[in-house]
Amino acid sequence: MKFRIRRFDEKRGSYWQSFEVPVTTAMTVLDGLFYIRENLDSSLAFRASCRMGICGSCAVKINGRPRLACETQVSKFREVKIEPLDNFAVIKDLVTEFEGFFAKHKKVKPYLINPKADYENPVEQIQTPEELKVYYDFSLCIKCGACHSVCPAAATLEGYLSPAALVSAYRFNADSRDHGKEERLKIVSAADGVWRCHSAMECSEVCPKQIEPAKAIQLLRVATLR
């Protein structure tokens, strides 16, 4: 199977390189990348960690669409074309800069806010299964960056909060244990927040955890009206 990879380094800039990778049963794209690095070219740079779709490190653009390399079967394709994620600055080969992405997360205060919390006399925070169901799906985000890479708003505006950060904001707002709704709504209701989303729904189409970030963003919009 031919692996065509769009590589990058500061001296050469961007360039394509092809590798022939022997295919084994149930091989994933990530297996192929490891094979290349171990046997063909040890300078190939890419991120990976858990190999099982939970850490979000290996998200790359495979044949034009962002996917997790560890969850993508090579047998789906005739040829595997791999590129780094769009809308992220490339550091080397398939490794992109993620600091800005994480900074956007931090901006929406992705933690439970409870002004009455008394750590000296802790009280258990009870939550019913129904209350959990409201935000559970949105808590599954693995911060892989696939949504950010396909979002038209993120493509054109550097400061856009990105679907992932907005999903995080909604996840906490919808959590019955949280008391920081107003603070977060003010942050996401700024001009570079939810109002830059125009329902292209590309994020929902590529999320490897099927979270539907578009839905979270729209629910945040509706919440700002109240």
Binding residues vs another protein (CB under 8 A): 64-65, 87, 150, 152-153, 155-159, 185-186, 189-192, 195-196, 198-202, 204-205, 212, 214-215, 218-219, 221-222, 224-225
d(CA 213, CA 217): 6
What tokens does 74 get?
A: 């090579």
| Distance in Å, CB of 3 to another protein, minimum | 21
| Distance in Å, CB of 156 to another protein, minimum | 5
* Residue 220 DSSP code: H
| Distance in Å, CB of 37 to another protein, minimum | 29
Nearer to another protein, 54 or 155 (CB): 155
Nearer to another protein, 58 or 219 (CB): 219
d(CA 160, CA 146): 15
Nearer to another protein, 112 or 190 (CB): 190
- Angle (deg, nearest 10), helices 181-188 and 162-173: 160
| Distance in Å, CB of 218 to another protein, minimum | 5
Nearer to another protein, 44 or 144 (CB): 144
End-to-end CA distance of the chain: 55
d(CA 167, CA 95): 24
| Distance in Å, CB of 52 to another protein, minimum | 26
Nearer to another protein, 47 or 61 (CB): 61
d(CA 204, CA 208): 9
For 179, other C-beta atoms within 10 Å of its C-beta total: 14
Q: Decide: 91 and 97 in contact? Cβ < 8 Å.
A: yes
